[in-house]
């Protein structure tokens, strides 16, 4: 698998290996596949879903009424018993009713949250297409502006917020949603943002003067100066902008250094040396003070989240522009 001439894309691999399984098809495929043999893994009853050299993608039998497929049952992990694999899709049959459960990827490698949801797993093309080509006919995986959905009969159900399931009577074609999850999109609450902007005004006035006097101080490419100062000084974010008896808090000076670095834009030019030959580089730094309020308010909003939630009708696609604030 790979990219380029005479290679296959993840889409091609999963298309060739996928089974478009329902309960009957996955049970039959399990019986047809010869288990992998060997001293170390022969006892594990490994039934590759497609190519035998991709044994991390396999069918697992739980009982006569339950099977599931997985994409991350890697050989090294099983031999060393370092971690478990996760379920991708489960197929069940009970009293003539067939149930399909689509699982959100889990953080099985994380020590802090070993079974937490990890929807970013779908960002891997192999994982996304593994789901797509092993869902029953009529289902489809959909990528809508990086948001992942399972599509059925023109309806879209998010798979990022937890497992979802569908059911049907065995022998029929029509699947029905059994457990699906609602979504909300967030918008800025103008009343709350107005209150917070008023609280930041004294600090911004101070900042616009001090950035001309202080040296820029790097605080991390993706770090928020407000969050760092709040953590280091043990100050609540709501109190970061407060003055004591009209005196400027000490931590404002640190913030001025950090935000001066944030508004810095560097350019460089190559020029020929006057002596010795060759070229040298001249760096020019420009500080855009007009960006200060945007950076401060942006960092503040990510922390206090002055948002209101609007529920989206079930089955509709949506994109929450503030989704990353809750990650």
| Nearest in space to 211 (alpha carbons), one of 265, 251, 259 | 259
Which alpha helices (DSSP H) does 46-143 contain, by range? 75-80, 125-134
Segments of the chain scoring below 70 in pLDDT: 1-6, 79-83, 110-112, 114, 270-277, 279
pLDDT digits (tens, 9 = 90+) for 75-117: 777 766 666 788 999 999 999 999 999 999 998 776 667 678 9
pLDDT confidence of residue 2: 52
What does the block give as tokens for 141? 């995986």
What does the block give as tokens for 15? 């298309």
Residue 122 DSSP SS3: helix
Asked if 137 contacts 19 with a C-beta cutoff of 8 angstroms, the reply is: no
Q: How far apart are CA 25 and CA 253, in angstroms?
A: 67
Q: How far is CA 254 from its chain centroid?
A: 32
pLDDT confidence of residue 277: 64
Q: Where are the domains of the chain?
A: 10-182, 190-305
What does the block give as tokens for 122? 């779908």
DSSP 182-210: -EEEEEE-HHHHHHHHHHHHHHHHHHHHH
pLDDT confidence of residue 275: 64
pLDDT digits (tens, 9 = 90+) for 57-80: 999 999 999 999 999 888 777 766
pLDDT confidence of residue 86: 87
Is the Cα dihedral 273, 276, 280, 282 positive or negative?
negative
């Amino acid at each position: 698998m790979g990219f380029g001439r005479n290679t296959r894309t993840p889409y091609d691999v999963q298309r060739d290996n996928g089974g478009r399984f329902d309960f009957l098809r996955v049970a039959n495929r399990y019986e047809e596949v010869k288990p992998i043999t060997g001293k170390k893994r022969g006892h594990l009853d490994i039934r590759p879903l497609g190519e035998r050299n991709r044994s991390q993608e396999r069918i697992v039998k739980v009982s006569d009424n339950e099977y599931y497929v997985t994409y991350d049952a890697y050989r090294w992990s099983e031999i060393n018993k370092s971690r478990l694999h996760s379920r991708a899709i489960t197929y069940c049959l009970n009293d003539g009713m067939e149930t399909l459960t689509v699982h959100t990827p889990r953080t099985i490698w994380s020590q802090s949250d070993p079974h937490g949801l990890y929807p970013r797993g779908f960002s891997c093309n192999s994982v996304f297409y593994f789901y797509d080509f092993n869902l029953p006919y009529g289902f489809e995986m959909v990528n809508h502006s990086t948001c992942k959905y399972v599509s059925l009969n023109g309806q879209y159900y998010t798979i990022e917020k937890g497992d979802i399931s569908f059911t049907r009577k065995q022998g029929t074609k029509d699947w029905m949603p059994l457990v699906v999850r609602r979504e909300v999109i967030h918008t800025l609450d103008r009343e709350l943002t107005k209150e917070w902007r008023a609280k930041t005004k004294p600090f911004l006035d101070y900042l616009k003067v001090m950035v001309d006097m202080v040296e820029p101080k790097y605080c991390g490419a993706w770090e928020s100066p407000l969050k760092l100062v709040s953590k280091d000084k043990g100050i609540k974010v709501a109190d970061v902008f407060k003055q004591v008896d009209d005196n400027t808090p000490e931590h404002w000076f640190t913030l001025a250094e950090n935000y001066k670095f944030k508004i810095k834009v560097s350019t460089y030019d190559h020029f020929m040396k006057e002596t010795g030959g060759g070229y040298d580089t001249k760096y020019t730094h420009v500080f855009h003070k007009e960006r200060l309020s945007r950076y401060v308010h942006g960092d503040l909003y990510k922390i206090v989240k002055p948002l209101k939630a609007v529920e989206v009708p079930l089955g509709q696609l949506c994109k929450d522009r503030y989704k990353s604030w809750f990650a």
